[in-house]
Structure 1
Amino acid sequence: MNLFGGTIRALENSLDYAAVKNRTIANNIANVDTPNYKAKDAVFKNMLHNELTSSIKANRTRPEHLPFDGTLHNSYQVITRKGTMYNHNGNNVDIDKEMVELAKNQIYYQGLADRISSKFNSLQTVIRGGR
């Protein structure tokens, strides 16, 4: 029996994703001048997973491929951006893009933190008998 209807778990997973995305962006910013560094992105993969598992039956031929058997452990993954180069030293970090993504992620994280705090406050009110 799922006592909270999965909402708290979904918020937890979203907070985990936002934290990973923040670390990924911070790492990209820290390596903006590192020669041949390739920027990384944290991306959701469970939306694709849900779509694929509901409509396609397939086998994994390589360990890097997404699983199709419902054993997806994280709802996100970190990928490397390839095929682009913004700097003469082989680096593909666009500092303006990274700063915009960082600001968006901070707003996203704060919204999630506010929502989960509200959920816990509601539970606390119920436990106290409405006081």
Structure 2
Amino acid sequence: MDLFGRTFQTLESSLDYATAKNRTISNNIANADTPNYKAKDVVFKNVLNDALTSSLEAKRTNARHLPFDNSGLQHSYKIVTNKTTMYNHNGNNVDIDKEMSELAKNQIYYQGLVDRINGKFSSLQMVIRGGR
């Protein structure tokens, strides 16, 4: 029996994504003046689409059939490098204004996740105490 359901797993994965995005944005900001540095981004949408197409439940009628599971996926996101643009004459493509707004947006997202986890634990604590 799974005591917590998939909620905590989903929230944990979301926190991992937000942490990776924060780390990536911080690296971009730190390297805003580094010659030939290319901005990186954490993408989730492409990985989600890939997972949806590869996580089909299928009945295997023969042991030689390929299984339809995505147990090999470790993260629900991936880090990509943007090599298509150049904002500075030194080959750098970090847009500091964009990075700062992404950082603020990611911090709000992260705080929302933490608040949701705290709410879940508060509910569990209330159940354990018998509704008090």
- Same fold by TM-score greater than 0.5: yes
**How many angstroms apart in 1 are the aligned matches of 2:107 and 2:118?**
16
**How many angstroms apart in 2 are the aligned matches of 1:15 and 1:127?**
26
Equivalent in the alignment of 2:120: 119
* Secondary structure of 1:75 counterpart: coil
**How many angstroms apart in 2 are the aligned matches of 1:54 and 1:30?**
38
Q: Deviations over 1:27-85 (max 9, x none)?
A: 00000000000000011154112332157xxxxxxxxxxxx851211111111111110
Q: Percent identity?
A: 70
Q: Indicate if the aligned counterparts of 2:32 and 2:92 stay in contact, CA closer than 8 A.
A: yes
**How many angstroms apart in 1 are the aligned matches of 2:110 and 2:35?**
31
Q: Indicate if the aligned counterparts of 1:13 and 1:75 stay in contact, CA closer than 8 A.
A: yes
**How many angstroms apart in 2 are the aligned matches of 1:111 and 1:94?**
26
Q: Indicate if the aligned counterparts of 1:35 and 1:90 stay in contact, CA closer than 8 A.
A: yes
**How many angstroms apart in 1 are the aligned matches of 2:4 and 2:110?**
21
Q: Indicate if the aligned counterparts of 2:31 and 2:37 stay in contact, CA closer than 8 A.
A: yes
The alignment of Structure 1 onto Structure 2 pairs a total of residues equal to 119
Instruction: Measure how far apart 1:99 and its partner are.
Output: 0.6
Q: Indicate if the aligned counterparts of 1:46 and 1:72 stay in contact, CA closer than 8 A.
A: no
CA RMSD of aligned residues (A): 1.5
**How many angstroms apart in 1 are the aligned matches of 2:110 and 2:116?**
10
Max Rg structure = 2
Q: Indicate if the aligned counterparts of 2:22 and 2:106 stay in contact, CA closer than 8 A.
A: yes
Q: State whether structure 2 residue 29 is matched by structure 1 residue 29.
A: yes
**How many angstroms apart in 2 are the aligned matches of 1:84 and 1:105?**
23
TM-score (norm 1): 0.85
Equivalent in the alignment of 2:54: 53
Equivalent in the alignment of 1:59: none
**How many angstroms apart in 1 are the aligned matches of 2:23 and 2:100?**
13
Runs of 4+ in structure 1 off by over 6 angstroms are none
Equivalent in the alignment of 2:86: 85
